[in-house]
Amino acid sequence: TKATQRLDYAPPAYWIDSVELTFDLDPAKTRVLNRMRLRRNPGVAPQPLRLDGEELNLARVMVNGAGSSFKMEGDKLVLENLPEGNDPFELEIFTTCAPAKNTQLSGLYVSGDTFFTQCEAEGFRRITYFLDRPDVMASYQVLLRADKAQYPVLLSNGNLVESGELDGGRHFARWADPHRKPSYLFALVAGKLVAREQQIVSRAGKPHLLQVWVRPGDLGKTEHAMNSLMAAIAWDEARFGLSLDLERFMIVATSDFNMGAMENKGLNIFNTKYVLASEATATDVDFANIESVVGHEYFHNWTGNRVTCRDWFQLSLKEGLTVFRDQEFSQDMAGSPSARAVKRIEDVRVLRTAQFPEDAGPMAHPVRPDSYVEINNFYTVTIYEKGAEVVRMQHNLVGREGFARGMKLYFERHDGHAVTCDDFVQAMADANPASPLALHLEQFKRWYSQAGTPHVKAVGQYDADARRYTLTLSQSCAATPGQPEKHPFVIPVALGLLGTDGRALPLQLEGEAAAGGTERTVVLTEPSMTLAFVNVDSPPVPSLLRGFSAPVILDCEYGDAELLALLTHDGDAFNRWEAGQRLMLRIAINAIADEAVTTDAAGQIHQNILPAALAQAMRDVLRHPQLDAAFKELVLTLPSESYIAEQLGVVDPQRIHAVREALRQQLAVALQADWAWAWEEHHAGGAHRPDAVSSGRRALAGLALSMLCLAARQSGDAVWPGKTYQRFKDAGNMTDRFNALSALVMSGHELAAPALARFHAMFKDDALVLDKWFALQAGSTDRGGNVLPAVKALMKHPDFHIKNPNRARSVIFSYCSANPGAFHRQDAAGYVFWADRVLELDALNPQVAARLARALDRWNRLAEPYRTAAREAIARVAAKPDLSNDVREVVTRALA
């Protein structure tokens, strides 16, 4: 299949002004009548109309009321003899499709007994023939007809205009969307659903109806989603002056969904995972995710829907910006500076453990890609998370007020249009003409066009006689596929200097009359720059890239004492955490390389690899009287196996796993009394509230419990596992219950089995909780290769359904993508399992299969025997002749 190239963009030859869709909904055969009003685009040379379509049965085509000739070019419906001139004409197309057979979950499909749609990116063409591209924006009217008993609720975008009864037990509803939109924002839902409703009045004094639609039994779990929606609406008004532009805003939950949620105009469709929550069934992480995803989809109403993308290469225009907005929303909701820092650290952790590897692997692509085979493969952490970092850098370069001005100008210029990433940056720069962004605009745009993670090397030198400290910052970026050479980026580096006593030093650069503040942001635009700080009394410790001011890898040769100083004193919470991570990473990497550190037959390390000084530093953090629990939990969590792997040239996943497990075990034992203290201090019950402070306390108590179970594993002591089991049974909320269960499972304690059985019995009717049950087992610590057989057994469990993406992810992805110590086996059985599942899923749902296919992206860096075995497994998948484009693109790139 041919790749689509960004530079081949051409405006559409026709515009579609309005669409009238009539659906006769039937799972086996749904009839779709599509009446469009089109006109030629006068700016484009006359040519036939080529409409996109996929898996449709075409029954009739009429132009201006008369039957019309047509031909097919592959999947495309081609009309050659259309009226000449620029006058509008009517095109009527009648097709049928089979929603019940749609296992891809793209287009119109059935979940449970309910109809749903998913049209982004190119699903609308699976519903009717259309110009299925985001720059074609039309007005939609939708008539839904269906059996009333089976489908009592009929929803589509916009306002309900009319509804009523039809013959034969059927009924209808007519919806009209007051806003023009691209086809990817079309949606319909039909089924037995109930709604939590809320009337609100906006700041502008306008009334709005908010609804969260779910299956009847789930109504009690919708309060948090509704609260999150109301908070998101208020936040967008307060922070950006953006109001809800609809009388009615609906969220509908489905348990069969390829992604998290979808921002269809006025009718958001959500994975149940990001809607349903009660303290008994959802963890604090679930509550936080719901707030952020509800916010994200709501914020798309302006950034994505009112201003949309000209083409799919511009996807980050809406996704990067909207992730930035949801991150800011969650930070603002978290409240205290410390809670904001915790959210920032969590976001950066995602970027570094998922996006950095992507940027260094075969699927590396710029934030604005240049080509794709299957657009669904480009809903990536680069487009979303790196895209958000690129927006964040703009925010930091123009300031908070400047950013708000830029947003205002962006909407003044582009409201109602389909535009590009360049248009966004241009508006930001034009609204802030004196900013460093405007000054370096063309160079800044390289963040959109160049893939790869830049390295920034920092070298400091102190001259005691001159009381001068020079800091040299140099940037470089490795080649990525198709981009052998990189040009320098614009890199904002927020920095400060710490004195020997840990105090923040006033900063005075050579040539400045006086010191000004203790923190500033320097902008690195050249390959290298040197800063000279004067009036520095003693060798300082530089605190660089504060708050993670740019998505780069900072190479700075800190000594242990310097890192300990930063961990103890840095005024920037992000860098305080970062110093702790660097200390632990250093120990892990040294142990991995040290041949004297050996493993026994069960793959365990018995030598002590945790230095006493590091254990003490961690103890000091844990016992610190002022630090928040949530922050402590982050500092005391070791860098993940995949983050450790990223630091190494050649990756032996078993070695990394053994070293990390040994470090964890030793941290558990060395701090045993402190963990017990932390548990006693933080586990207290009381009413469950999902706010940042109480969830931070629960997180730290959970970590303490898991460490105490690990320590007990070594000592054979039964007290803490017993207490943990008790906690598991008595917990008043899912966070505490699941933390206790995880502590037992991850430490391999014999109480894990009865706890798992009990958990299943308690929650056998709650699909989202069962997903956790499956995921915990598939992601559990490998002991002598026990996880793969357990995963295979889980796939035979009566509750396992491979067609359901949440369930497939909870078992297959938790094993292949999130459990490297268990997946990378010397006998290659993990890879064989992976290849089988990719092929099995590809026949059902190519989007999900292609995501799984990415699990072996980084095969090329694996040590032997893993490398050869992984390559063979990928080659076996690639050899299948009838692979989907989705999987074909991933495995072809991997093998290139």
Q: Which residues are catalytic?
A: 297
Residues 6+ apart with CB under 8 A from 730: none
Which listed residue (26, 92, 120, 132) binds ligand HT7 by CB under 6 A?
Answer: 120
Applying CB under 5 A, the site for Zn ion has a residue count of 2
Give 379 or 679: the residue with its C-beta nearer to Zn ion. 379
**Token digits for 353?**
């453990």
Q: How far is the CB of 847 from ligand HT7 (least distance, A)?
A: 6
- How many Å apart are CA 177 and CA 20, to the nearest integer? 11
Residue of the chain from 108, 110, 121, 850 that contacts ligand HT7 (CB under 6 A): 121
Q: Judged by CB under 6 A, does residue 654 bind ligand HT7?
A: no
Q: Cβ distance 477 to 486 under 8 Å?
A: yes
Residue nearer to ligand HT7 on the CB measure, 262 or 768: 262
Burial profile 237-263: b = 16 or more Cβ within 10 angstroms, e = fewer: eebbebbbbbebbbbbbbbbbbbebbb
Report the distance separating Cα 36 and Cα 130, nearest Å: 9
CB of 117 to Zn ion, least distance (A): 17
Q: Which of residues 829-888 bind ligand HT7 (CB under 6 A)?
A: 847
Q: Which is nearer to Zn ion, 298 or 823 (CB)?
A: 298
Question: Is residue 118 part of the contact set for ligand HT7 (CB under 6 A)?
Answer: yes
| 118 touches, from ligand HT7, Zn ion, none (C-beta below 5 to 8 Å by class) | ligand HT7
Report in angstroms how near the CB of residue 125 gets to ligand HT7 at its nearest. Answer: 13
Q: Are the C-beta atoms of residues 242 and 236 closer than 8 Å to each other?
A: yes
The item of Zn ion, ligand HT7, none sharing an interface with residue 258, based on CB under 5 to 8 Å by kind, is ligand HT7
Q: Nearest Cα to 820, choosing from 863, 855, 794?
A: 855
Sheet harboring 107-111: ordered strands across?
A: 107-111, 114-118, 188-191, 153-156
Nearer to Zn ion, 119 or 678 (CB): 119
Nearer Cβ to ligand HT7 (99/542)? 99
Place of tokens 């079309």: 186
Q: Cβ of residue 303: shortest distance to ligand HT7, in angstroms?
A: 10
Segment holding 248, helix H or strand E:
strand 248-254
Nearer to ligand HT7, 255 or 278 (CB): 255
Residue 379's binding partner out of Zn ion, ligand HT7, none, with CB under 5 to 8 Å set by partner kind: ligand HT7
Spatial separation of the C-alpha atoms in residues 337 and 887, rounded to whole Å: 43
User: Among residues 118 and 666, whose Cβ is nearest to ligand HT7?
Assistant: 118
Closest distance of CB 378 from ligand HT7, Å: 9
173 within 8 A of 148, measured Cβ to Cβ: no
Name the residue with the smallest CB distance to ligand HT7: 259
Nearest distance from residue 849's CB to ligand HT7, in Å? Answer: 13
Long-range contacts of 169-172 (CB under 8 A, 24+ apart): 170/145, 170/146, 171/145, 171/146, 172/143, 172/144, 172/145
Enumerate long-range contacts of 194-200, CB under 8 Å, 24 or more apart.
194/219, 195/250, 196/222, 196/223, 196/226, 198/226, 198/229, 198/230, 200/230, 200/233
Pick the piece of the chain touching ligand HT7 (CB under 6 A) from 117-125, 204-212, 580-588, 607-615.
Answer: 117-125
Which residues does 799 contact at the CB level (< 8 Å), separation at least 6?
764, 770, 774, 807
Residue 261 CB, nearest distance to ligand HT7 (Å)? 6
* Options 294-302, 569-577, 758-766, 874-882: segment touching ligand HT7 (CB under 6 A): 294-302
Q: CB-wise, 258 or 575, nearer to ligand HT7?
A: 258
| Nearer Cβ to Zn ion (129/270) | 270
38 binds, among Zn ion, ligand HT7, none (CB under 5 to 8 A by kind): none
Q: Which of residues 361-400 bind ligand HT7 (CB under 6 A)?
A: 376, 379
Site string for Zn ion, 302-341 (x = CB under 5 A): -----------------x--x-------------------
Parallel, antiparallel, or unpaired: how do β-strands 188-191 and 107-111 relate? unpaired
Residue 319 interacting with ligand HT7 (CB under 6 A): yes
Instruction: Decide which of ligand HT7, Zn ion, none touches 636; Cβ closer than 5 to 8 Å per partner kind.
Output: none
Residue 376, contacted partner among ligand HT7, Zn ion, none, CB below 5-8 A by kind: ligand HT7
- Which of 306/698 has CB closer to Zn ion? 306
Q: How far is the CB of 263 from ligand HT7 (least distance, A)?
A: 5
Closest approach of Zn ion to the CB of residue 319, in Å: 5
Nearer to ligand HT7, 256 or 736 (CB): 256
As a three-state string, the secondary structure of 314-356 is HHHHHHHHHHHHHHHHHHHHHCCHHHHHHHHHHHHHHHHHHHH
Smallest separation, CB 122 to ligand HT7 (Å): 9
Q: What's the closest the beta carbon of residue 893 comes to ligand HT7, in angstroms?
A: 19
Q: Is there a cis peptide before residue 879, judged by omega within 30 degrees of 0? A: no
Three-state secondary structure of 120-170: CCCCHHHCCCECCCCCCEEEEEEEEEEECCCCCEEEECCEEEEEEECHHHE
Partner in contact with 259, chosen from ligand HT7, Zn ion, none, beta carbon below 5 to 8 Å by kind: ligand HT7
CA distance 718 to 22: 66
Q: Which does 672 bind (CB under 5 to 8 A by kind): Zn ion, ligand HT7, none?
A: none
Cβ atoms of 96 and 57 closer than 8 Å = yes
Enclosing H/E stretch for 710: helix 692-715
Distance CA 575, CA 554 (A): 12
Q: How far is the CB of 106 from ligand HT7 (least distance, A)?
A: 6
Q: State which residue, 310 or 619, has the beta carbon closest to ligand HT7.
A: 310
Window 247-266: contact mask with ligand HT7 (x via CB under 6 A): -----------xx-xxx---
Binding mask 185-224 for Zn ion (x = CB under 5 A): ----------------------------------------
Cα three-residue angle 417-316-328, rounded to 5 degrees: 100
Nearest to residue 214, comparing CAs of 191, 198, 246?
191
What 3-state DSSP class applies to 717?
A: coil
Give the interface size with ligand HT7 as a residue count (CB under 6 A): 15
Q: Are 429 and 395 in contact (CB under 8 A)?
A: no
Task: Compute the least distance from the CB of residue 384 to Zn ion, in Å.
Answer: 7
Question: Distance between CA 738 and CA 773 in Å, rounded?
Answer: 9
Q: Are 584 and 614 in contact (CB under 8 A)?
A: yes
3-state secondary structure of 579: helix
Per-residue contact string for residues 295-314; x = within reach of ligand HT7 by CB under 6 A:
-xx--x--------------
x/- contact string, 750-789, with ligand HT7 (CB under 6 A)?
A: ----------------------------------------
> Which of Zn ion, ligand HT7, none interacts with 36 (beta carbon under 5 to 8 A by kind)?
none
Place of tokens 């990817």: 184
Report which of 94, 79, 118, 86 is spatially closest to residue 30, judged by C-alpha positions: 94
Kindly give the residue spans of alpha helices, DSSP state H, lying in 528-572: 560-569
551/545 Cα distance (integer angstroms): 9
Amino acid at 440: H
Residue 272 interacting partner from Zn ion, ligand HT7, none (CB closer than 5 to 8 Å by kind)? none
Separation in Å, CA 162 to CA 168, 175, 176, 362, 557 = 19, 7, 9, 52, 69
Q: Considering the complex, state which of residue 254 and residue 581 has its C-beta at the smaller distance from ligand HT7.
A: 254
Choose the one of Zn ion, ligand HT7, none that binds residue 435, judging by a C-beta under 5 to 8 angstroms depending on kind. none
- Residues at the interface with Zn ion (CB under 5 A): 319, 322
- Residues at the interface with ligand HT7 (CB under 6 A): 118, 120-121, 258-259, 261-263, 296-297, 300, 319, 376, 379, 847
